[in-house]
Structure 1
Amino acid sequence: MKKSVTAIAATLLAGAVLLCPPAIAAQPKLTGEQQLAKMLEGREAGKPVDCIPLSQTSNTTVIYKTAIVYRVGSTLYVNRPTNADLLDNDQILVTRLTGSQLCSIDTVQLHDRSMPHMWNGFVGLREFVPYKKAAAK
């Protein structure tokens, strides 16, 4: 009897696992603008700047067909480059600097991750908009 209860439980568990993936896949995929809004929740925009210190940048996130977000300390800098419609989350970014900082006149080559030697175009950086956590009220 113990074996039959165990077999029934295993069958039910396997059935439940098979039902989960469609439920996950059924969730709507967020647009680039929605992804960016979610990332910036609880933050306030500051005055745009032309350059940020690349040496202090700890993380770079590509937002699909929308923007590149650079983290410097606790500040997120959002750059909406020219040709943003070419941005894909699965690309390697190769930045061409004109100085020691990352500036609005720099360009970024987009390389296919599966074939890194093949490039998919480029984007031209624009002003960086800083987003800092909103002050507690």
Structure 2
Amino acid sequence: MPRTRFLSKAPIASACAGTAAALALFASAPVAADEQSESDIETEVETEELSKGEEKLAKLLEGRVAGEPVRCIRNRLNGQLRTIEDTAYVYGRGNTIYVQRTRDPGQIDRSNVLVSQQFNGTRLCKLDVVTAVDRLTGLFRGAVFFEDFVPYTRVEEDGEAS
């Protein structure tokens, strides 16, 4: 029959105190590292060039002005959707288009199809349940979490207004 051994409380207490001290030391280190990395990130962002997706979106938005973000947009069955890899979804056409960057734009992929379970059949909203499905296999690729939609409206030039 195996014997159970109990440790005295003294070694356990000193081990806990040592562990607590080590955790306190490690817990303070990430704070300093975060402060340093934030300044490094700011420097990198200033010197970093635009990604291909950001360049494509910037070209699409030329001559347009951003409006107040909205929670929902009208969803037409024949509405146009453009996918800009790792950047945004662009809804609509004509004078006003809506840019949806999502919470994780890095997951935006042209090979995915968006499937939504809308709460309102005529509008697409920030809180609708949207999933990405692989276009070829039909397999689930992940959930898509929308942010507010940002409208961009074409600006009339002085010559066009007359």
Q: Which residue of the partner structure matches residue 62 of structure 2?
A: 41
1:53 aligns with one of 57, 60, 74: 74
Runs of 4+ in 1 over 3 A off after TM superposition: none
Q: CA deviation at 1:52?
A: 0.6
Q: 1:50 to 1:72 in 2, by over 3 A?
A: farther
Distance 2:82 2:119 in 1: 21
Could you say what secondary structure the match of 2:92 adopts?
strand
Alpha-carbon RMSD across the aligned residues, in angstroms, is: 1.7
Q: Which residue of the partner structure matches residue 126 of structure 2?
A: 104
Q: Which has the higher helix share?
A: 2
Aligned length: 107
The normalised TM-score by structure 1 is 0.71
Q: CA deviation at 1:55?
A: 2.4
% identical equivalent positions: 37
Larger radius of gyration: 2
Within a 5 Å distance, the mapping from 1:104-123 to structure 2 comes to 104-116=126-138, 118-123=139-144
Within a 5 Å distance, the mapping from 1:1-137 to structure 2 comes to 31-55=52-76, 58-71=79-92, 73-100=94-121, 101-116=123-138, 118-137=139-158
Q: Which has the higher strand share?
A: 1
Q: CA deviation at 1:99?
A: 1.8
Q: CA deviation at 1:36?
A: 0.7
